[in-house]
Amino acid sequence: MKLTVWTYEGPPHVGAMRVATAMKGLHYVLHAPQGDTYADLLFTMIERRNHRPPVTYTTFQARDLGSDTAYLFKDACQAAYDRFKPQAMIVGASCTAELIQDDPAGLSETMGLPVPVIPLELPSYQRKENYGADETFYRIVRALAKPMARTTHVTANLIGPTALGFRHRDDITEVTALLADMGIGVNVVAPYGASPENIARMGAAHFNVLMYPETAEAAARWMEKELDQPFTKTVPIGVGATRDFVAEVAQITGLAPALDEDRLRLPWYSASVDSTYLTGKRVFLFGDGTHVAAAARIARDEMGFEVVGLGCYNREQARLIRTVAKDFGVPALITDDYLEVERAIEDAAPEMILGTQMERHIGKRLGIPCAVISAPVHVQDFPARYSPQMGIEGANVIFDTWVHPLVMGLEEHLLTMFREDFEFHDEAGASHHGGKAKVRVAVADVEGPAPQTPRDISGPKKQGAETTIEVVWLPAAERELKKIPFFVRGKARRNTESFATERGVSEISVDTLYEAKAHYAR
Protein backbone atom coordinates (compact mmCIF):
# COMPACT_ATOMS: atom_id res chain seq x y z
CA MET A 1 0.00 0.00 0.00
CA LYS A 2 1.42 3.32 -1.02
CA LEU A 3 0.28 6.70 0.22
CA THR A 4 -0.25 8.93 -2.78
CA VAL A 5 -1.13 12.60 -2.77
CA TRP A 6 -0.74 13.50 -6.43
CA THR A 7 0.14 11.17 -9.26
CA TYR A 8 2.14 11.76 -12.40
CA GLU A 9 0.44 9.00 -14.31
CA GLY A 10 -3.06 7.64 -14.37
CA PRO A 11 -3.85 3.94 -14.37
CA PRO A 12 -2.93 1.88 -17.43
CA HIS A 13 -6.45 1.92 -18.90
CA VAL A 14 -6.12 5.71 -19.19
CA GLY A 15 -3.08 5.02 -21.38
CA ALA A 16 -5.26 2.75 -23.49
CA MET A 17 -7.80 5.55 -23.73
CA ARG A 18 -5.10 7.92 -24.95
CA VAL A 19 -4.46 5.53 -27.81
CA ALA A 20 -8.13 4.88 -28.56
CA THR A 21 -9.08 8.55 -28.39
CA ALA A 22 -6.24 9.52 -30.70
CA MET A 23 -7.46 7.03 -33.29
CA LYS A 24 -10.44 6.99 -35.61
CA GLY A 25 -12.69 4.03 -36.26
CA LEU A 26 -11.58 2.19 -33.13
CA HIS A 27 -13.79 1.61 -30.11
CA TYR A 28 -12.76 0.66 -26.59
CA VAL A 29 -15.08 -1.32 -24.36
CA LEU A 30 -13.87 -0.92 -20.82
CA HIS A 31 -15.22 -3.06 -18.02
CA ALA A 32 -15.37 -0.46 -15.28
CA PRO A 33 -17.58 1.13 -12.62
CA GLN A 34 -19.34 4.41 -13.35
CA GLY A 35 -16.86 6.65 -11.55
CA ASP A 36 -14.15 5.69 -14.02
CA THR A 37 -15.97 7.70 -16.67
CA TYR A 38 -14.26 10.74 -15.15
CA ALA A 39 -11.46 9.96 -17.61
CA ASP A 40 -13.58 11.35 -20.46
CA LEU A 41 -13.16 14.83 -19.10
CA LEU A 42 -9.40 14.63 -19.43
CA PHE A 43 -9.89 14.55 -23.16
CA THR A 44 -12.91 16.78 -23.55
CA MET A 45 -11.78 19.44 -21.10
CA ILE A 46 -7.98 19.42 -20.91
CA GLU A 47 -7.44 18.75 -24.58
CA ARG A 48 -10.74 20.42 -25.60
CA ARG A 49 -11.61 17.49 -27.82
CA ASN A 50 -14.89 18.01 -29.57
CA HIS A 51 -15.88 14.36 -29.51
CA ARG A 52 -16.45 11.97 -26.67
CA PRO A 53 -13.63 9.48 -26.34
CA PRO A 54 -14.68 6.32 -28.19
CA VAL A 55 -15.09 4.40 -24.97
CA THR A 56 -18.02 2.42 -23.66
CA TYR A 57 -17.85 1.75 -19.95
CA THR A 58 -19.91 -1.11 -18.63
CA THR A 59 -20.53 0.84 -15.37
CA PHE A 60 -21.37 -2.18 -13.29
CA GLN A 61 -22.68 -1.63 -9.81
CA ALA A 62 -22.44 -3.46 -6.52
CA ARG A 63 -25.75 -5.22 -7.10
CA ASP A 64 -24.40 -6.67 -10.37
CA LEU A 65 -21.40 -8.27 -8.71
CA GLY A 66 -21.33 -12.00 -8.61
CA SER A 67 -24.36 -12.34 -10.87
CA ASP A 68 -24.34 -10.68 -14.22
CA THR A 69 -21.33 -8.47 -14.72
CA ALA A 70 -20.21 -10.78 -17.51
CA TYR A 71 -23.53 -10.30 -19.30
CA LEU A 72 -23.24 -6.58 -18.80
CA PHE A 73 -19.90 -6.67 -20.50
CA LYS A 74 -21.21 -8.65 -23.47
CA ASP A 75 -24.25 -6.40 -23.82
CA ALA A 76 -22.05 -3.33 -23.73
CA CYS A 77 -19.78 -4.81 -26.40
CA GLN A 78 -22.66 -5.64 -28.68
CA ALA A 79 -24.35 -2.28 -28.15
CA ALA A 80 -21.09 -0.44 -28.81
CA TYR A 81 -20.54 -2.36 -32.01
CA ASP A 82 -24.11 -1.80 -33.21
CA ARG A 83 -24.04 1.90 -32.48
CA PHE A 84 -20.55 2.89 -33.56
CA LYS A 85 -19.71 0.27 -36.22
CA PRO A 86 -15.97 0.55 -35.57
CA GLN A 87 -13.36 -1.05 -37.85
CA ALA A 88 -11.83 -2.72 -34.81
CA MET A 89 -12.39 -2.86 -31.06
CA ILE A 90 -10.18 -3.10 -28.04
CA VAL A 91 -11.55 -4.59 -24.83
CA GLY A 92 -10.20 -4.60 -21.33
CA ALA A 93 -10.72 -4.15 -17.64
CA SER A 94 -10.10 -1.30 -15.25
CA CYS A 95 -8.63 -1.87 -11.79
CA THR A 96 -11.96 -2.96 -10.29
CA ALA A 97 -12.93 -5.23 -13.15
CA GLU A 98 -9.52 -6.85 -12.97
CA LEU A 99 -10.47 -8.04 -9.49
CA ILE A 100 -13.78 -9.56 -10.50
CA GLN A 101 -12.04 -11.56 -13.23
CA ASP A 102 -14.75 -11.59 -15.86
CA ASP A 103 -12.19 -12.14 -18.60
CA PRO A 104 -13.21 -9.56 -21.20
CA ALA A 105 -10.84 -11.19 -23.67
CA GLY A 106 -12.55 -14.56 -23.51
CA LEU A 107 -16.04 -13.09 -23.39
CA SER A 108 -15.55 -10.92 -26.45
CA GLU A 109 -14.01 -13.77 -28.37
CA THR A 110 -17.15 -15.86 -27.98
CA MET A 111 -19.31 -13.08 -29.39
CA GLY A 112 -18.25 -13.47 -32.99
CA LEU A 113 -18.20 -9.76 -33.74
CA PRO A 114 -17.47 -9.14 -37.43
CA VAL A 115 -14.45 -6.92 -36.75
CA PRO A 116 -11.11 -7.61 -35.09
CA VAL A 117 -11.48 -7.47 -31.30
CA ILE A 118 -8.16 -6.93 -29.57
CA PRO A 119 -8.01 -7.89 -25.89
CA LEU A 120 -5.81 -5.88 -23.55
CA GLU A 121 -4.23 -7.19 -20.37
CA LEU A 122 -3.17 -4.16 -18.40
CA PRO A 123 -2.14 -4.98 -14.82
CA SER A 124 -3.66 -2.06 -12.93
CA TYR A 125 -1.92 -2.75 -9.67
CA GLN A 126 1.56 -2.88 -11.12
CA ARG A 127 1.74 -0.61 -14.09
CA LYS A 128 0.68 2.88 -15.09
CA GLU A 129 -0.56 5.11 -17.85
CA ASN A 130 2.47 5.17 -20.15
CA TYR A 131 2.77 1.43 -20.00
CA GLY A 132 -0.93 1.18 -20.81
CA ALA A 133 -0.52 3.35 -23.90
CA ASP A 134 2.60 1.53 -25.06
CA GLU A 135 1.08 -1.90 -24.56
CA THR A 136 -2.23 -0.94 -26.19
CA PHE A 137 -0.56 0.48 -29.26
CA TYR A 138 1.66 -2.56 -29.49
CA ARG A 139 -1.33 -4.91 -29.29
CA ILE A 140 -3.16 -3.00 -31.99
CA VAL A 141 -0.17 -2.94 -34.32
CA ARG A 142 0.55 -6.58 -33.69
CA ALA A 143 -3.02 -7.54 -34.47
CA LEU A 144 -3.45 -5.43 -37.58
CA ALA A 145 -0.11 -4.65 -39.26
CA LYS A 146 1.22 -7.14 -41.76
CA PRO A 147 4.39 -7.36 -43.82
CA MET A 148 3.76 -5.90 -47.26
CA ALA A 149 5.47 -4.29 -50.23
CA ARG A 150 7.25 -1.04 -49.44
CA THR A 151 6.12 2.24 -50.97
CA THR A 152 8.15 3.19 -54.03
CA HIS A 153 9.27 6.47 -52.52
CA VAL A 154 10.94 6.37 -49.17
CA THR A 155 8.33 6.77 -46.46
CA ALA A 156 8.24 6.53 -42.69
CA ASN A 157 5.58 5.93 -40.07
CA LEU A 158 5.52 8.45 -37.26
CA ILE A 159 4.70 6.50 -34.15
CA GLY A 160 3.94 7.44 -30.58
CA PRO A 161 1.76 10.56 -30.65
CA THR A 162 -1.42 10.05 -28.63
CA ALA A 163 -4.30 12.03 -27.24
CA LEU A 164 -3.35 14.03 -24.13
CA GLY A 165 0.29 14.05 -25.20
CA PHE A 166 2.58 16.98 -24.53
CA ARG A 167 2.53 18.96 -27.81
CA HIS A 168 2.07 15.80 -29.89
CA ARG A 169 -0.30 17.57 -32.28
CA ASP A 170 2.35 20.07 -33.34
CA ASP A 171 5.33 17.74 -33.19
CA ILE A 172 3.71 15.67 -35.94
CA THR A 173 3.69 18.69 -38.25
CA GLU A 174 7.28 19.50 -37.43
CA VAL A 175 8.63 15.99 -37.93
CA THR A 176 6.66 15.65 -41.15
CA ALA A 177 8.43 18.79 -42.38
CA LEU A 178 11.85 17.49 -41.30
CA LEU A 179 11.30 14.35 -43.34
CA ALA A 180 9.89 16.26 -46.29
CA ASP A 181 13.14 18.26 -46.44
CA MET A 182 14.91 14.99 -47.14
CA GLY A 183 12.32 13.88 -49.64
CA ILE A 184 10.75 11.36 -47.28
CA GLY A 185 6.99 10.96 -47.16
CA VAL A 186 4.86 9.94 -44.22
CA ASN A 187 3.11 6.61 -44.64
CA VAL A 188 1.05 6.51 -41.43
CA VAL A 189 0.99 8.60 -38.28
CA ALA A 190 -0.16 6.44 -35.40
CA PRO A 191 -1.95 6.25 -33.11
CA TYR A 192 -2.77 9.98 -33.58
CA GLY A 193 -5.34 10.25 -36.35
CA ALA A 194 -4.91 6.67 -37.59
CA SER A 195 -7.75 4.25 -38.25
CA PRO A 196 -7.37 0.49 -37.93
CA GLU A 197 -7.22 0.41 -41.74
CA ASN A 198 -4.25 2.78 -41.62
CA ILE A 199 -2.56 0.55 -39.06
CA ALA A 200 -2.92 -2.35 -41.45
CA ARG A 201 -0.88 -0.34 -43.98
CA MET A 202 2.00 0.44 -41.66
CA GLY A 203 4.14 -2.30 -43.17
CA ALA A 204 4.53 -0.25 -46.36
CA ALA A 205 6.85 2.28 -44.70
CA HIS A 206 10.61 1.94 -44.99
CA PHE A 207 11.23 2.78 -41.37
CA ASN A 208 9.60 4.12 -38.25
CA VAL A 209 10.21 7.40 -36.51
CA LEU A 210 9.79 6.61 -32.83
CA MET A 211 8.66 10.01 -31.64
CA TYR A 212 7.87 9.06 -28.07
CA PRO A 213 9.44 5.90 -26.64
CA GLU A 214 6.98 6.19 -23.72
CA THR A 215 4.05 5.24 -25.90
CA ALA A 216 5.40 3.33 -28.90
CA GLU A 217 8.64 1.58 -28.10
CA ALA A 218 7.09 -1.88 -27.86
CA ALA A 219 5.41 -1.40 -31.22
CA ALA A 220 8.65 -0.10 -32.75
CA ARG A 221 10.55 -3.16 -31.57
CA TRP A 222 7.88 -5.51 -32.85
CA MET A 223 7.81 -3.84 -36.25
CA GLU A 224 11.58 -3.94 -36.41
CA LYS A 225 11.48 -7.67 -35.88
CA GLU A 226 8.35 -8.65 -37.77
CA LEU A 227 8.11 -6.02 -40.50
CA ASP A 228 11.81 -5.47 -40.87
CA GLN A 229 11.48 -1.74 -40.27
CA PRO A 230 14.33 -0.01 -38.45
CA PHE A 231 13.34 2.79 -36.11
CA THR A 232 15.00 6.03 -35.11
CA LYS A 233 16.55 6.25 -31.65
CA THR A 234 17.05 10.00 -31.56
CA VAL A 235 14.16 12.13 -30.40
CA PRO A 236 14.53 15.41 -32.30
CA ILE A 237 13.99 17.83 -29.42
CA GLY A 238 16.61 20.58 -29.39
CA VAL A 239 19.04 21.78 -32.05
CA GLY A 240 21.70 19.14 -31.50
CA ALA A 241 19.17 16.33 -31.32
CA THR A 242 17.41 17.54 -34.44
CA ARG A 243 20.69 17.53 -36.35
CA ASP A 244 21.51 14.07 -35.00
CA PHE A 245 18.04 12.90 -35.98
CA VAL A 246 18.57 14.05 -39.55
CA ALA A 247 21.90 12.27 -39.63
CA GLU A 248 20.30 9.12 -38.26
CA VAL A 249 17.50 9.22 -40.84
CA ALA A 250 20.11 9.72 -43.58
CA GLN A 251 21.99 6.73 -42.32
CA ILE A 252 18.86 4.54 -42.16
CA THR A 253 17.61 5.53 -45.60
CA GLY A 254 20.85 6.14 -47.45
CA LEU A 255 19.55 9.56 -48.46
CA ALA A 256 21.62 12.72 -48.15
CA PRO A 257 21.05 14.55 -44.87
CA ALA A 258 19.20 17.82 -45.34
CA LEU A 259 17.98 20.26 -42.74
CA ASP A 260 16.58 23.67 -43.55
CA GLU A 261 17.82 25.88 -40.73
CA ASP A 262 16.54 29.14 -42.15
CA ARG A 263 13.99 29.55 -39.40
CA LEU A 264 16.24 28.28 -36.60
CA ARG A 265 16.82 31.06 -34.07
CA LEU A 266 17.81 29.29 -30.87
CA PRO A 267 21.60 29.27 -31.47
CA TRP A 268 21.80 32.99 -32.26
CA TYR A 269 19.37 33.97 -29.55
CA SER A 270 21.40 31.97 -27.11
CA ALA A 271 24.67 33.52 -28.32
CA SER A 272 23.39 37.10 -28.39
CA VAL A 273 24.63 39.20 -25.50
CA ASP A 274 21.25 39.58 -23.87
CA SER A 275 21.44 35.86 -23.09
CA THR A 276 24.66 36.21 -21.14
CA TYR A 277 22.53 36.27 -18.04
CA LEU A 278 21.47 32.70 -18.72
CA THR A 279 25.01 31.51 -18.10
CA GLY A 280 25.22 28.92 -15.40
CA LYS A 281 21.59 29.23 -14.33
CA ARG A 282 21.07 26.33 -12.01
CA VAL A 283 18.19 24.23 -13.31
CA PHE A 284 16.40 21.14 -12.03
CA LEU A 285 14.77 18.82 -14.56
CA PHE A 286 11.86 16.49 -13.96
CA GLY A 287 9.30 14.87 -16.21
CA ASP A 288 8.99 11.84 -18.45
CA GLY A 289 12.32 10.26 -19.38
CA THR A 290 12.30 11.26 -23.03
CA HIS A 291 11.62 14.93 -22.45
CA VAL A 292 14.00 15.17 -19.52
CA ALA A 293 16.87 13.58 -21.42
CA ALA A 294 16.30 15.95 -24.34
CA ALA A 295 15.92 18.95 -22.05
CA ALA A 296 19.14 18.14 -20.20
CA ARG A 297 21.14 18.36 -23.40
CA ILE A 298 19.46 21.60 -24.45
CA ALA A 299 19.90 23.10 -21.01
CA ARG A 300 23.62 22.48 -20.92
CA ASP A 301 24.72 22.67 -24.53
CA GLU A 302 22.27 25.11 -26.04
CA MET A 303 21.28 27.42 -23.20
CA GLY A 304 24.42 27.35 -21.08
CA PHE A 305 22.58 26.35 -17.92
CA GLU A 306 23.97 24.25 -15.14
CA VAL A 307 21.91 21.11 -14.52
CA VAL A 308 21.84 20.56 -10.75
CA GLY A 309 19.43 17.66 -10.64
CA LEU A 310 17.28 15.56 -12.90
CA GLY A 311 14.88 12.70 -12.83
CA CYS A 312 11.83 11.05 -14.31
CA TYR A 313 8.60 9.60 -12.99
CA ASN A 314 8.30 6.70 -15.41
CA ARG A 315 10.33 3.74 -14.31
CA GLU A 316 10.44 2.44 -17.88
CA GLN A 317 12.95 5.19 -18.68
CA ALA A 318 15.02 4.81 -15.52
CA ARG A 319 18.00 3.41 -17.34
CA LEU A 320 18.12 6.26 -19.84
CA ILE A 321 17.83 8.84 -17.08
CA ARG A 322 20.54 7.18 -14.99
CA THR A 323 22.88 7.33 -17.96
CA VAL A 324 22.13 10.99 -18.57
CA ALA A 325 22.52 11.79 -14.88
CA LYS A 326 25.88 10.12 -14.82
CA ASP A 327 27.00 12.13 -17.80
CA PHE A 328 25.91 15.30 -16.02
CA GLY A 329 27.42 14.25 -12.71
CA VAL A 330 24.20 14.57 -10.76
CA PRO A 331 22.12 11.94 -8.97
CA ALA A 332 19.15 10.52 -10.89
CA LEU A 333 15.80 10.83 -9.15
CA ILE A 334 13.51 8.03 -10.28
CA THR A 335 10.25 8.38 -8.42
CA ASP A 336 6.57 9.06 -8.86
CA ASP A 337 6.26 10.41 -5.34
CA TYR A 338 5.43 14.07 -5.68
CA LEU A 339 6.56 14.91 -2.16
CA GLU A 340 9.94 13.32 -2.82
CA VAL A 341 10.37 15.44 -5.93
CA GLU A 342 9.49 18.49 -3.92
CA ARG A 343 12.11 17.63 -1.32
CA ALA A 344 14.76 17.04 -3.96
CA ILE A 345 14.04 20.40 -5.54
CA GLU A 346 14.16 22.12 -2.20
CA ASP A 347 17.52 20.53 -1.47
CA ALA A 348 18.98 21.40 -4.86
CA ALA A 349 17.70 24.98 -4.59
CA PRO A 350 17.75 25.60 -8.34
CA GLU A 351 17.15 28.97 -9.96
CA MET A 352 14.70 27.41 -12.35
CA ILE A 353 12.73 24.18 -12.69
CA LEU A 354 12.09 22.52 -16.03
CA GLY A 355 9.32 20.14 -15.12
CA THR A 356 5.69 19.18 -15.42
CA GLN A 357 2.58 20.98 -14.24
CA MET A 358 3.23 19.37 -10.87
CA GLU A 359 6.65 20.97 -10.57
CA ARG A 360 5.12 24.27 -11.63
CA HIS A 361 3.16 24.11 -8.41
CA ILE A 362 6.24 23.14 -6.44
CA GLY A 363 7.95 26.13 -8.00
CA LYS A 364 5.07 28.37 -7.06
CA ARG A 365 5.31 27.29 -3.48
CA LEU A 366 9.08 27.60 -3.29
CA GLY A 367 9.22 30.78 -5.32
CA ILE A 368 11.25 29.19 -8.13
CA PRO A 369 10.33 29.91 -11.74
CA CYS A 370 9.31 26.88 -13.76
CA ALA A 371 8.86 26.08 -17.43
CA VAL A 372 6.83 23.03 -18.39
CA ILE A 373 8.62 20.45 -20.56
CA SER A 374 6.60 17.28 -20.23
CA ALA A 375 3.28 15.56 -19.50
CA PRO A 376 1.19 15.19 -17.32
CA VAL A 377 -0.69 17.86 -19.13
CA HIS A 378 -2.89 20.73 -18.21
CA VAL A 379 -5.25 22.77 -20.35
CA GLN A 380 -2.42 25.31 -20.76
CA ASP A 381 -0.34 22.69 -22.52
CA PHE A 382 -2.71 22.81 -25.47
CA PRO A 383 -2.12 26.33 -26.72
CA ALA A 384 -4.13 27.58 -29.66
CA ARG A 385 -0.96 28.59 -31.49
CA TYR A 386 1.48 26.25 -33.20
CA SER A 387 3.85 25.25 -30.44
CA PRO A 388 5.88 22.11 -31.11
CA GLN A 389 8.81 20.82 -29.08
CA MET A 390 10.50 18.92 -31.92
CA GLY A 391 12.54 20.12 -34.85
CA ILE A 392 13.51 23.64 -35.79
CA GLU A 393 10.42 25.42 -34.59
CA GLY A 394 10.43 23.25 -31.47
CA ALA A 395 13.89 24.60 -30.59
CA ASN A 396 12.66 28.16 -31.06
CA VAL A 397 9.59 27.48 -28.92
CA ILE A 398 11.76 25.94 -26.22
CA PHE A 399 14.06 28.95 -26.12
CA ASP A 400 11.12 31.29 -25.62
CA THR A 401 9.35 29.04 -23.15
CA TRP A 402 12.38 28.56 -20.94
CA VAL A 403 13.41 32.16 -20.92
CA HIS A 404 9.95 33.46 -20.22
CA PRO A 405 9.78 32.57 -16.51
CA LEU A 406 13.14 34.22 -15.85
CA VAL A 407 13.91 37.83 -15.28
CA MET A 408 15.72 39.27 -18.24
CA GLY A 409 19.16 40.67 -18.95
CA LEU A 410 19.40 44.20 -17.63
CA GLU A 411 16.67 43.63 -15.12
CA GLU A 412 18.74 40.87 -13.63
CA HIS A 413 21.75 43.14 -13.28
CA LEU A 414 19.69 45.61 -11.39
CA LEU A 415 18.45 42.93 -9.12
CA THR A 416 21.99 41.92 -8.44
CA MET A 417 23.00 45.44 -7.63
CA PHE A 418 20.14 46.04 -5.32
CA ARG A 419 19.32 42.62 -4.13
CA GLU A 420 18.20 43.66 -0.70
CA ASP A 421 15.61 46.07 -1.99
CA PHE A 422 12.32 45.01 -0.58
CA GLU A 423 10.22 45.23 -3.71
CA PHE A 424 12.84 44.89 -6.41
CA HIS A 425 14.71 41.83 -5.30
CA ASP A 426 15.41 38.63 -7.11
CA GLU A 427 12.58 36.71 -5.50
CA ALA A 428 10.06 39.24 -6.67
CA GLY A 429 9.74 37.54 -10.02
CA ALA A 430 10.10 38.97 -13.46
CA SER A 431 8.55 42.34 -14.12
CA HIS A 432 6.86 41.09 -17.28
CA HIS A 433 4.67 38.72 -15.24
CA GLY A 434 1.49 39.79 -13.57
CA GLY A 435 0.43 38.78 -10.14
CA LYS A 436 1.62 39.37 -6.66
CA ALA A 437 5.27 39.88 -6.00
CA LYS A 438 6.80 37.70 -3.36
CA VAL A 439 8.24 39.68 -0.55
CA ARG A 440 11.65 38.71 0.62
CA VAL A 441 11.47 36.81 3.83
CA ALA A 442 13.75 38.05 6.54
CA VAL A 443 16.77 35.81 6.77
CA ALA A 444 18.74 35.70 9.97
CA ASP A 445 22.04 36.69 8.45
CA VAL A 446 20.65 39.51 6.39
CA GLU A 447 20.93 42.72 8.24
CA GLY A 448 18.39 45.44 8.15
CA PRO A 449 14.67 45.50 8.26
CA ALA A 450 12.64 43.30 5.96
CA PRO A 451 9.15 44.40 5.09
CA GLN A 452 6.45 42.25 6.57
CA THR A 453 3.49 42.79 4.31
CA PRO A 454 3.18 41.57 0.74
CA ARG A 455 3.08 44.26 -1.88
CA ASP A 456 1.97 44.27 -5.44
CA ILE A 457 4.82 45.37 -7.66
CA SER A 458 2.44 46.68 -10.25
CA GLY A 459 0.41 48.71 -7.78
CA PRO A 460 1.07 52.27 -6.65
CA LYS A 461 4.16 52.50 -4.52
CA LYS A 462 4.49 54.19 -1.21
CA GLN A 463 8.09 55.07 -0.72
CA GLY A 464 9.99 54.81 2.48
CA ALA A 465 6.89 54.78 4.64
CA GLU A 466 8.44 52.54 7.21
CA THR A 467 11.88 54.07 7.55
CA THR A 468 12.42 57.43 9.09
CA ILE A 469 15.45 58.82 7.39
CA GLU A 470 17.78 60.62 9.65
CA VAL A 471 20.86 60.31 7.50
CA VAL A 472 22.08 63.24 5.49
CA TRP A 473 23.49 63.15 1.98
CA LEU A 474 26.66 65.16 1.56
CA PRO A 475 26.57 67.27 -1.62
CA ALA A 476 29.25 65.23 -3.41
CA ALA A 477 27.37 62.01 -2.72
CA GLU A 478 24.15 63.60 -3.85
CA ARG A 479 25.84 64.52 -7.16
CA GLU A 480 27.24 61.06 -7.53
CA LEU A 481 23.81 59.61 -6.96
CA LYS A 482 22.43 61.67 -9.84
CA LYS A 483 24.83 59.89 -12.18
CA ILE A 484 23.06 56.63 -11.54
CA PRO A 485 20.38 56.02 -14.17
CA PHE A 486 17.05 57.45 -13.05
CA PHE A 487 15.20 54.17 -13.10
CA VAL A 488 17.36 52.71 -10.38
CA ARG A 489 18.18 55.88 -8.53
CA GLY A 490 15.39 55.47 -6.01
CA LYS A 491 16.56 51.99 -5.16
CA ALA A 492 20.15 53.09 -4.87
CA ARG A 493 19.13 55.88 -2.57
CA ARG A 494 17.12 53.62 -0.33
CA ASN A 495 19.75 50.91 -0.23
CA THR A 496 22.46 53.35 0.60
CA GLU A 497 20.36 54.90 3.32
CA SER A 498 19.54 51.62 4.97
CA PHE A 499 23.17 50.57 4.67
CA ALA A 500 24.14 53.77 6.46
CA THR A 501 21.44 53.45 9.08
CA GLU A 502 22.45 49.93 9.94
CA ARG A 503 26.00 51.09 10.53
CA GLY A 504 25.03 54.14 12.46
CA VAL A 505 26.48 56.40 9.78
CA SER A 506 24.59 59.68 9.73
CA GLU A 507 26.31 61.37 6.78
CA ILE A 508 26.46 59.70 3.41
CA SER A 509 29.62 60.37 1.48
CA VAL A 510 30.64 59.12 -1.95
CA ASP A 511 32.50 56.38 -0.14
CA THR A 512 29.36 55.30 1.69
CA LEU A 513 27.53 55.14 -1.60
CA TYR A 514 30.11 52.82 -3.12
CA GLU A 515 30.49 50.79 0.02
CA ALA A 516 26.76 50.22 -0.12
CA LYS A 517 26.99 49.25 -3.75
CA ALA A 518 29.77 46.82 -2.96
CA HIS A 519 27.74 45.41 -0.11
CA TYR A 520 24.68 44.73 -2.19
CA ALA A 521 26.43 43.50 -5.31
CA ARG A 522 27.01 39.84 -5.48
Partner 1 sequence: MTDRFPPPPANGCANTPVLKERGQHEVFCGLTGIIWLHRKMQDAFFLVVGSRTCAHLLQSAAGVMIFAEPRFATAVLEETDLAGLADAQTELDRVVRDLLARRPDIKQLFLVGSCPSEVIKLDLATAAERMSAEFAPHVRVLNYSGSGIETTFTQGEDACLAAMVPVLPKTDARELLVVGALPDVVEEQARGLLGDMGICPIRWLPETDRLSEVGIGANTVFALTQPFLTETHDALIRRGARPLHAPFPFGEEGTTAWLSAIAREFGVPQETFQAVTERPRARARKAVAQASEALNGRSVFFFPDSQLEIPLARFLTRECGMTALEVGAPFIHRAVMTPDLELLAEGPVIAEGQDVDRQLDRCRAAAPDLTVCGLGLANPLEAEGLTTKWAIELVFSPVHFYEQAGDLAGLFSRPLRRRSLLRVEAAE
Chain residues binding partner 1 by CB under 8 A are: 1-7, 9-11, 13-14, 33-42, 44-45, 48-52, 56-62, 65, 76, 79, 83, 94-96, 99-100, 123-126, 128, 339, 361, 364-365, 378-379
**Where in 288-429 does DSSP place strands (E)?**
306-312, 332-334, 352-355, 370-372
Environment class of residue 291 by beta-carbon count within 10 Å: exposed (0-12), middle (13-18) or buried (19+)? buried
Site for ligand SF4 in 33-72 (CB under 6 A): 33, 35-36
Instruction: Report the nearest approach of ligand SF4 to the CB of residue 67 (Å).
Output: 19
Chosen from ligand SF4, partner 1, none, partner binding at 432 (C-beta under 5 to 8 Å by type): none
Catalytic residue flag (residue 381): no
**Which member of 260, 274, 400, 511 is catalytic?**
274
Residue 95 or 186 with smaller CB distance to ligand SF4: 95
Secondary structure (3-state) at 286? strand
Q: Which stretch binds ligand SF4 (CB under 6 A): 2-10, 28-36, 78-86, 360-368?
A: 28-36
Bridge partners, residue 302, by sequence: none
Maximal C-alpha separation, the chain: 98
312 CB-near residues (< 8 Å, 6+ apart) = 286, 287, 288, 289, 292, 318, 320, 321, 333, 334
Closest CA to 292 of 333, 264, 329: 333
- CB-based contact 394:174 (threshold 8 Å): yes
Site for ligand SF4 in 352-381 (CB under 6 A): none
Chosen from partner 1, ligand SF4, none, partner binding at 126 (C-beta under 5 to 8 Å by type): partner 1
Report cis status (omega within 30 of 0) of the bond before 147. Answer: no
- CB-based contact 181:212 (threshold 8 Å): no
Residue 100 or 430 with smaller CB distance to ligand SF4: 100
State how far the Cα of 163 lies from the Cα of 382, in Å rounded to an integer: 11
**DSSP characters over 107-134:** HHHTTT-SS-EEE----TTT--HHHHHH
Instruction: Report the nearest approach of partner 1 to the CB of residue 460 (Å).
Output: 30
Q: Which stretch binds ligand SF4 (CB under 6 A): 32-40, 134-142, 260-268, 410-418?
A: 32-40
- Angle (CA) 455-459-461 rounded to 5° is 75
Instruction: Report the nearest approach of partner 1 to the CB of residue 18 (Å).
Output: 13
Residue 36 or 423 with smaller CB distance to ligand SF4: 36
Residue 339 or 472 with smaller CB distance to partner 1: 339
Which amino acid, residue 387?
S
Q: What is the DSSP letter of 65?
A: T
Chosen from ligand SF4, partner 1, none, partner binding at 14 (C-beta under 5 to 8 Å by type): partner 1
Choice from 96, 173, 467, 509 touching ligand SF4 (CB under 6 A) = 96
Chosen from partner 1, ligand SF4, none, partner binding at 50 (C-beta under 5 to 8 Å by type): partner 1
- Number of other residues whose CB lies within 10 A of the CB of residue 449: 13
100 binds ligand SF4 (CB under 6 A): no
Residue 39 or 377 with smaller CB distance to ligand SF4: 39
164 CB-near residues (< 8 Å, 6+ apart) = 18, 21, 42, 43, 46, 47, 375, 377
Instruction: Report the nearest approach of ligand SF4 to the CB of residue 72 (Å).
Output: 15
Residue 3 or 443 with smaller CB distance to ligand SF4: 3
Residue 150 or 315 with smaller CB distance to partner 1: 315
Instruction: Report the nearest approach of partner 1 to the CB of residue 510 (Å).
Output: 49
Residue 38 or 386 with smaller CB distance to partner 1: 38
Instruction: Report the nearest approach of ligand SF4 to the CB of residue 11 (Å).
Output: 9
Instruction: Report the nearest approach of ligand SF4 to the CB of residue 35 (Å).
Output: 2
- CB-based contact 187:156 (threshold 8 Å): yes
State how far the Cα of 344 lies from the Cα of 338, in Å rounded to an integer: 10
CB nearest ligand SF4: which residue?
A: 35
Instruction: Report the nearest approach of partner 1 to the CB of residue 241 (Å).
Output: 31
Q: Which residues would be at the binding site for ligand SF4 (CB under 6 A)?
A: 33, 35-36, 95-96
- Residues labelled catalytic: 274
